[in-house]
Amino acid sequence: MARNLGLEAGVDVAEQIRVEAARLFHQRGYGMTTIREIADAVGISSSTMYHHYRNKQDLLFAISLQFMREFNDAILPVLTDSTRAPQDRLDEAITLHLQISSARNAELLSIRGNRGALSPIQLKTIVDLQSTYQRAVRDTVAAIRDPGSATTDVEITTLALMDLINGVCQWFDPSGRLSIDAIADRYRSIARSIVNCASDGMLTTVEN
């Protein structure tokens, strides 16, 4: 019989629900995971679950919202710190991006794989937070590039960087040969090459 977690002092039940739900959504899939399974994993009753979240959709949104807010809170101050050189800001942002993606892999993958389960309003909220982050990356790339760089070139360079660092969470194995910090070191070098190639005119725009 599950213990009554809600009565244990100092336990943030809503947080535990989000953690276990993210894990199950990632492992079993959003559609295959039931409220009862989440409640059992947390050690509460289904009725207690509904006290915190009305349904699975609201729970998925809560996971997504918390992740994106905390992600942005960690990285945006770095990207927007005008007292630092833009390349240094980008380097640290890449490191933080990969570290957070690794440490919170289940949350991140459950969000990416189930965006279609969110309501249009919920999805817009998450996309707006993601867009805020991408704009900060783009502005930092633009600050590194030559002042006369075309806006389109900056956008392409930013998209290339985002594709580069967003893909790591799909294949990174904590038990593998390289740590996430070692991978971050290599990715910082690759990112510098991408930005420098773009600055040298080696990335070209294809126009229809």
3-state secondary structure of 174: coil
62 pLDDT above the threshold of 50: yes
Cα–Cα distance, 25 to 57 (Å, whole number):
12
208 pLDDT above the threshold of 80: no
- Mean pLDDT (the chain) is 88
Please tell me the pTM assigned to this model. 0.85
Report the number of secondary-structure helices (H) and strands (E) in the chain.
10, 0
- Residue 85: C-alpha distances to residues 81, 92, 141 (Å): 9, 11, 11
78 pLDDT above the threshold of 50: yes
11 pLDDT above the threshold of 70: no
The stretch 79-100 carries a mean pLDDT of 97
Angle at Cα 76 formed by Cα 72 and Cα 82, nearest 5°? 175
201 pLDDT above the threshold of 70: no
pLDDT of res. 113: 86
pLDDT of res. 153: 85
198 pLDDT above the threshold of 70: no
Tokens 């996971």 correspond to 63
28 pLDDT above the threshold of 60: yes
Q: What is the pLDDT of residues 121-171, one digit of tens each?
A: 999 999 999 999 999 999 999 999 866 555 668 999 999 999 999 999 999
pLDDT of res. 98: 97
Residue 71: Cβ within 10 Å count: 20
Q: Which domains does the chain have, with CATH numbers?
A: 5-52 (1.10.10.60), 56-199 (1.10.357.10)
**C-beta of residue 129 within 8 angstroms of C-beta of residue 72:** yes
Residues 6+ apart with CB under 8 A from 174: 102, 180
The secondary structure of the chain in percent helix, strand, coil, rounded to multiples of 5, reads: 75, 0, 25
DSSP 115: G
Cα–Cα distance, 18 to 14 (Å, whole number):
6
3 pLDDT above the threshold of 80: no
